[in-house]
Amino acid sequence: MASAFRSSLPRTSSECRSHTEHYTVKTYALDTNCFIDAVNETHHSYEALQRIFGAAERGQVSLKVSLHTLHELEGKKDEAWKLAKTLPVLPHWPIGTWADQVATWSELEGTWSDMERNDQIQLQLKEIAKSGTDIRDRGSYIDALCNGSDGFVTSDRQLVGSVPCERINNQFPTKVLTPEQLVEELCR
């Protein structure tokens, strides 16, 4: 299932050219907790997230947000929500039942077959990840996956804990990583 899915995905990363160099800017989708942590100076990921947003401002990385993430944040409409609204929104690939959707009919991407495939993937993720992942987390990851993002950045241990992370990263091309791990990648 995963290998067939890999070949149907769009290419990851956007290619950029400057006057004298050719480099690739990778794209990462940020989970809900990244926005909450990015506005909380006391959180352990705050510094890493500030570096990530700085790298995005300098064009070193492209950051995106899922409609699932925006849906989770819009209940408070606080600083985290405002920060999330500054990023481009990933096209929404449906999963689950109609009641689980966070987009209108006209905003959905893909076909009925894609929806069935994505729902199978989200059920796989539910099995792979530790208990406690909800459909919004899995949906945000699937939006990142289906849109060819290089990574999905989260501090949710259900996804980024060593065992689930390794399983997800071995099965799918969109890697799950913490803000600190992304900073390490950006420094290479």
Query: Would you list the domain boundaries of the chain?
Result: 2-187
Those residues with Cβ within 8 angstroms of residue 59's Cβ, 6 or more apart along the chain or in another chain: 16, 25
Cα 60 from Cα 180, distance rounded (Å): 16
Does domain 2-187 correspond to CATH entry 3.40.50.1010? yes
pLDDT value of position 22: 52
Those residues with Cβ within 8 angstroms of residue 41's Cβ, 6 or more apart along the chain or in another chain: none
pLDDT value of position 7: 39
Beta carbons of 149 and 27 less than 8 angstroms apart: yes
pLDDT value of position 39: 95
CA angle 10, 186, 25 (to 5 degrees): 35
Q: Which of 33, 12, 96, 83 is nearest to 53 (CA)?
A: 83
Cα 104 from Cα 106, distance rounded (Å): 5
Predicted confidence pLDDT, tens digits, the chain (188 residues): 444 443 344 434 443 334 445 568 999 999 999 999 999 999 999 999 999 999 999 999 999 999 889 988 988 889 999 999 999 999 887 776 666 666 666 776 777 787 788 788 888 888 877 656 777 788 889 899 989 999 999 988 877 777 788 888 999 999 999 999 999 998 88
Cα 44 from Cα 46, distance rounded (Å): 6
pLDDT value of position 14: 43
pLDDT value of position 6: 39
